[in-house]
Structure 1
Amino acid sequence: MIRFEGVSRRYGDRAVVDRVTLEVPGGSICVLLGESGSGKSTLMRMVNRLVEPSAGRVLVDGRDVAQAEPEALRRGIGYVIQSVGLFPHWRVAENIATVPRLLGWEAARIAERVDALLALVGLDPARFRDRFPHELSGGQAQRVGLARALAADPPLLLMDEPFSALDPGTRRDLQVELRRIHARTGKTILFVTHDVEEALVLADELAVLEDGRLAARGRPAQVLETGADRTVRRLFGEESLAFHRLGTLPAARLARPEDAEDGLPVLPATASLKQALMLMLEQGTDRLAVPAEAGFPGGTLHWADLVRAA
């Protein structure tokens, strides 16, 4: 668990982060969302002491990070950045093994960990462990960067716009991959982005920053429901707030408990209403069959109900 208590960071007369108090629940993905210059990266870097607060304090699992030796602190926190930062003359396996080597792990344990992590991030160990960074695509390099951050099994990951330089398809793939890895590992992740769609795909908790101040926070659906907030409206767009809100609600919530007609397109019960809307438009239908799944009763989703929900 991370807690920011009234933290500020000033450069001269300018407050880059201004009196932010925020709690990140353990085991969650908390996304810091905001425009460039909103203070989100500065706030995140206070956790591993790459930036020191001018006021306030940052606690990880109840301990003030200011009391920790910086290098030791950083070895216990995974850190992934946009530029990846792989060492160009080291092979993939050597890059991933950076922190375990510093911690004095035995060679056999390191090799086993490297192969396990490559498999976890979707790369075949036999094909990739001996490649150099210049032999990787952007998406592959970012997967290696994620594996390196996970190498010593830290309970906390900091991710600073890690996917923003990638093409849309690769970016979506890595968002799905990160969600899968989070489900398997249960790590606490603090993720910085300026991309609204990415924030909604990833966030368990959402914190919106503007001019260094915390403008809104809560679960994504809660933040969207506070759409009257000026900052939230500008970020999401007046006309698209309802559309984004649909992405936070499960389709099964609106499915009528009735027998589905034969031939209707099928939507998984755990899909979002936004996905339901896109499927209806794609298939040219006003109804979808929603099967019983994961505790949901199932039934039929109607266009009129979906529109009312928006």
Structure 2
Amino acid sequence: MIRFEGVSHQYGTLEALRGVSFEVPAGALCVLLGESGSGKSTLLRTVNRLIEPTAGRVLLDGRDVAGIDPQALRRGIGYVIQSVGLFPHRSVAGNVATVPRLLGWDRARVEPRVNALLEMVGLDPGTYRDRRPATLSGGQAQRVGLARALAADPPVLLMDEPFSALDPGTRRGLQTALRRIHAETGKTILLVTHDLEEALVLADRIAVMAEGRLVAEGPPAEVLGPGAPEAVRRMVRTGALVLHRLAALPAAGAAENGPAPGSPGLPAGATLEDALLLMLAHGTDSVALEGAPPRHLTMTAILRASAP
């Protein structure tokens, strides 16, 4: 759905992007992950032409975005930002209806769409549709921003650090809502974050940026697996993040051939985190991976796989 071909961008003498090339498959939830200044937000904004590449091109569903009128392009792409950007003088319903009205939808079509979207993002229409943004909490406002981005049913949703300013509990609730919405709608989502934990919670693909370059891209288990580049290794060096890393890695990838008599059984599709928790619960240093041929997993293998 989104294809970057040798995308570069300069701010004066600063190279913000350096020949970035990769694809975001249709229906994927791809996270652009990287430290501050890595170029991830700059890359995201080339998709809706808020930033024009100085070299390379961006294709959306096979079309070079440089050949699409910017306003028409942006009306066909959902866009969610950290600061939400709701219109303070409009009601919640008026904010959600912004793009459909620009596209000429009539009232009979807009009203049920607004109600359905508010319900989708977890806001009761009867309670919230007539409220002003100033009366909303940060989490509620971000839910309205998400509903507004989805209003015209765009195939692509761009999200730039959408939850970074929220408290942890609110953030987790919105992450859960986004995963549910993605599963229900099948939209292609490209989301920027500097938070590895958030990337692991949300992504089915991760693209890691460092100093304007793409340094790793693929499913989380591949990106975080053996041979991960230094930019990724830096993100998993703290103990808390090691557990999140184990949650993204399949146990089968570290399993050894042969049975493990007396060891508790682990389902074939389990993660390394599942294996570690099972070992701790049973006070053992090995688990048997269910299925044929017989295989087992040791604590040593888990520690080896978790090393950054």
Task: Report if TM-score (shorter chain) is over 0.5.
Answer: yes
State whether residues 236 and 242 of structure 2, in contact with CA within 8 Å, keep that contact through their aligned partners in structure 1. no
Mean Cα deviation higher: 234-243 or 106-115: 234-243
Counterpart of 1:274 in structure 2 is 273
**In the aligned structure 2, how far is the partner of 1:8 from the partner of 1:285?**
52
State whether residues 286 and 303 of structure 1, in contact with CA within 8 Å, keep that contact through their aligned partners in structure 2. no
Q: Secondary structure at the match of 2:56?
A: strand
**In the aligned structure 2, how far is the partner of 1:275 from the partner of 1:94?**
46
**In the aligned structure 2, how far is the partner of 1:252 from the partner of 1:98?**
48
Calculate the TM-score normalised by the size of structure 2: 0.85
Counterpart of 1:78 in structure 2 is 78
- The structural deviation recorded for 1:45 is 0.1
Q: Secondary structure at the match of 2:86?
A: coil
Cα deviations across residues 247-272 of structure 1 (Å, max 9, x unaligned)?
A: 11467998x999999xxxxx999775
**In the aligned structure 1, how far is the partner of 2:53 from the partner of 2:193?**
21
**In the aligned structure 1, how far is the partner of 2:92 from the partner of 2:157?**
20
Counterpart of 1:96 in structure 2 is 96
Counterpart of 1:44 in structure 2 is 44
Distance verdict in 2 for CA 1:273–1:170, change over 3 Å: farther
Counterpart of 1:291 in structure 2 is none
CA RMSD after TM alignment:
3.0
- What residue identity is the alignment partner of 1:42? T
Counterpart of 1:148 in structure 2 is 148
- What residue identity is the alignment partner of 1:124? D
Counterpart of 2:180 in structure 1 is 180
Equivalent runs, 1:291-302 vs 2, <5 Å = none
Structure 2: unaligned runs, 5 residues or longer: 285-289
Distance verdict in 2 for CA 1:116–1:269, change over 3 Å: farther
**In the aligned structure 2, how far is the partner of 1:257 from the partner of 1:95?**
59
Query: What count of residue pairs does the alignment treat as equivalent?
Result: 293
Q: Secondary structure at the match of 1:19?
A: strand
- The structural deviation recorded for 1:235 is 2.1
State whether residues 32 and 208 of structure 1, in contact with CA within 8 Å, keep that contact through their aligned partners in structure 2. yes
Calculate the TM-score normalised by the size of structure 1: 0.85
Distance verdict in 2 for CA 1:62–1:140, change over 3 Å: same
State whether residues 96 and 144 of structure 1, in contact with CA within 8 Å, keep that contact through their aligned partners in structure 2. yes
**In the aligned structure 1, how far is the partner of 2:176 from the partner of 2:157?**
17
- Give yes or no for the alignment of 1:122 onto 2:122: yes
Counterpart of 1:12 in structure 2 is 12
Distance verdict in 2 for CA 1:132–1:259, change over 3 Å: farther
Counterpart of 2:287 in structure 1 is none
Q: Secondary structure at the match of 1:26?
A: coil
- The structural deviation recorded for 1:307 is 4.0
State whether residues 205 and 217 of structure 2, in contact with CA within 8 Å, keep that contact through their aligned partners in structure 1. yes
Counterpart of 2:56 in structure 1 is 56
Distance verdict in 2 for CA 1:241–1:192, change over 3 Å: same
Cα deviations across residues 9-51 of structure 1 (Å, max 9, x unaligned)?
A: 0112210011101111110011000011100000000000000
Q: Secondary structure at the match of 1:247?
A: helix
**In the aligned structure 2, how far is the partner of 1:111 from the partner of 1:271?**
44
Equivalent runs, 1:252-263 vs 2, <5 Å = none
Q: Secondary structure at the match of 2:83?
A: coil
Counterpart of 1:67 in structure 2 is 67
- What residue identity is the alignment partner of 2:36? S
**In the aligned structure 2, how far is the partner of 1:205 from the partner of 1:278?**
25
Cα deviations across residues 191-229 of structure 1 (Å, max 9, x unaligned)?
A: 000001001111111111111011111111101114442
- The structural deviation recorded for 1:302 is 8.8
Counterpart of 1:195 in structure 2 is 195
- What residue identity is the alignment partner of 2:168? P
- What residue identity is the alignment partner of 1:140? Q
Distance verdict in 2 for CA 1:108–1:251, change over 3 Å: farther
- Give yes or no for the alignment of 1:3 onto 2:8: no
Structure 1: unaligned runs, 5 residues or longer: 262-266, 288-295
**In the aligned structure 1, how far is the partner of 2:133 from the partner of 2:298?**
49
State whether residues 227 and 233 of structure 1, in contact with CA within 8 Å, keep that contact through their aligned partners in structure 2. no
Distance verdict in 2 for CA 1:270–1:10, change over 3 Å: same
- What residue identity is the alignment partner of 2:114? V
- The structural deviation recorded for 1:183 is 0.3
Mean Cα deviation higher: 39-48 or 220-229: 220-229
Distance verdict in 2 for CA 1:307–1:60, change over 3 Å: same
Distance verdict in 2 for CA 1:225–1:307, change over 3 Å: closer
